Amino acid sequence: MKIDFDSEVDAAYLQLDDAKIIESEEVVPGVIFDFNEHGGVVGVEILGMKKKDPRHLLSLKIPFHNPDERKAFESFLMEHALA
């Protein structure tokens, strides 16, 4: 997993997989899931990071590959959300 944060536009992107993005869907306001050809989530874009409640973002059903990815996301949220 790779996490990028652009402070100028207050947006983050979690790249979960290198697969080609076929479709994107805004699952909740400001949170967009990118899907591969099999319907799997390959990326998550979060707009307005500093306005998001980290607990809400953690409640999203992001398909992390292992517990370490979730921990990395939690640490990222504590550093950037509501900062």
pLDDT (tens digit, 9 = 90+) per residue, 22-69?
999 999 999 999 999 999 999 999 999 888 888 888 888 899 989 999
CA 14, CA 4: separation in Å to the nearest integer?
7
Q: Give tens-digit pLDDT for 29-41.
A: 999 999 999 999 9
3-state helix vs strand vs coil in the chain, percent to 5 = 30, 35, 40
Q: Tell me the mean pLDDT in the region 4-27.
A: 95
- The edge-to-edge listing of strands for the beta sheet with 31-35 is 2-6, 11-15, 41-47, 31-35, 23-28
